[in-house]
A and B are shown apart, each in its own frame.
Chain A
């Protein structure tokens, strides 16, 4: 299977991380996990993902905090917000006026096909992309 690039899965739910990691790995993505915003910031540096799937409601550092910090620092990695709380998503949209909006939104429970299609579209899959 062609190498499709790197995805960082950020979610405090271990089962969700396992699910997304397995699903994306099966499609040829290289996947790393982070269980909160703090860990995600570290992985952003060390793993250098091509895309981030981001839960919003997390202990330590929330998805909103992570997203703002990344964008305010000029980071342009595509981000898909994946959350089970609709109000969180709306609040997120309201609050992130000062920074560019995220590239995609998905609600939990995630539709696998929809998620893969969105990831593929945002990654603009380059068939020549090689592992770093």
Chain B
């Protein structure tokens, strides 16, 4: 062991060491202290360190004089060259032979580099948090029990702030984990996984999301959590659905147009051959076919327009009695051809109401034509009728369309208002009832269908009497009147 005097140890200490008396005057200091802070003769520590006229508010040296214990604090001091240095200060009492504290030794370690690194780390954390929060995806961190232990801002805004809750409760409002659960898969195999899900937001909107998971490891390489990043692909899915529907629409129209062309060809053939043979009856028959098919083309084009374009409703006052007759004019010839009796009636007490006349007429014509066709193909009864009744109460207009045609089985009934579903074989485009439902819904109304195979069908429509009533309806819902049983 090298024999060195105590003063040498004191001087060579790689930190600032000083001894202070009760007045905080510097009694002694090591070489490093003197080099960095200058002459100590007759000066107090606060003058030397901080160039202050008064002692610091909290002084560890003073506290050590007071309680005889060591104390610690973090300070910023200024060197002779003007550098500000962060130090961590430790104090310890120096006692005389009687055990009285005659001085306090203060040892200060330069932690400037450490503080800089701490500051950089804080800044780095802040930036990481900002990136985490601002990424336009839903990001969550989940533990092995599928608890959401952290989430970014978009996630919190969309799904709520329920940290600690299960992800499946948060996303899907369900009580069991999803199957498959790619977070669990990532915990099990440490691999990245991708899956598409439909999740529910805090306000119950449905979102299509593409979910990706990745493991987060602790310093020992164990998976301590899993990060889940979900991208909202709802607009893409909606676009895909629209494109699919356009494809189906084209297919449906194409099919319909082929049938109509065939009908027109037939009409033209009958007219031409009738003219060649001077057969007036055949000419009339052919001309009726031509007219009927032209009418069907018009109807199909209107259906397509209603489907393709969300138009603003054009509210006008409608007199039910007058309206019923206008609808009868459109469907009478079809009913006559099918041998179906029409019974239309508007309750006198119904009074005028407001609706988009053209749209409502298109709706009723669609439903009535369905009813007439349902009667036409029914070979089990001799007499067929289709009835339409208008009634109203204070807030609603109620329209019932009823037929005693073939009726619908459950599958047909369930799909009746679905886009491109038709039970009418070559004659149906699958647009009519879909559009009817769309128009009634846009009026703030409802359509209910009751039907049994072999026993006819009944459509019960309710629409608010005025557009103002539609808005009131959203505030004070009134129970919808249930349709009466079908009369055979």
Contact = CB atoms under 8 A, between A and B. Distances in A.
Genuine A/B complex: yes
A11 to B, nearest CB: 7
Interface stretch (B25-33, B80-88, B421-429): B421-429
Contacts of B284: none
A33 interface: no
A26 interface: yes
A15 B255 contact: no
B265 interface: yes
B289 A19 contact: yes
A14 B256 CA distance: 14
B91 interface: no
Contacts of A22: 266, 269-270, 273, 282
A36 B379 CA distance: 11
Interface string A74-92: 0000000001110100000
B370 to A, nearest CB: 12
Given A22-B269, A59-B424, A84 B289 contact: no
Interface string A10-26: 01111110111011001
Interface stretch (A65-73, A94-102, A105-113, A121-129): A105-113
B335 to A, nearest CB: 14
A103 interface: no
Interface residues of B, number: 30
B377 A84 contact: no
Contacts of B114: none
A35 B266 contact: no
B251 A87 contact: yes
B238 interface: no
Contacts of A44: none
B183 to A, nearest CB: 41
Contacts of A41: none
B38 interface: no
Nearest to B423: A59
A58 interface: yes
Contacts of A108: 258-259, 261-262
Given A19-B262, A59-B377, A84 B426 contact: yes
A57 B426 contact: yes
B110 to A, nearest CB: 83
Interface string B406-429: 100000000000000001111100
Nearest to A111: B265
B267 interface: yes
B377 A109 contact: no
B262 A12 contact: no
A113 B105 CA distance: 119
Nearest to B261: A109
Contact of A55 (B264, B285, B425): B425
Nearest to A60: B377
Given A22-B269, A35-B377, A107 B258 contact: yes
Nearest to B412: A59
A116 to B, nearest CB: 12
A60 B408 CA distance: 11
B426 A36 contact: no
B293 interface: yes
B351 interface: no
A41 to B, nearest CB: 13
Interface in B272-294: 273, 282, 285, 289, 292-293
A23 B267 CA distance: 11
Contact of A112 (B259, B269, B379, B427): B269
A58 B265 contact: no
Given A26-B273, A110-B262, A18 B285 contact: yes
B427 A13 contact: yes
A16 B266 contact: yes
13 contacts: A15-B266, A15-B267, A16-B263, A16-B266, A18-B285, A22-B273, A58-B426, A59-B406, A59-B424, A84-B258, A85-B255, A108-B258, A108-B261
Sorted nearest first, the 5 A-B pairs with minimum C-beta distance are A19-B266, A84-B258, A15-B263, A109-B261, A58-B425
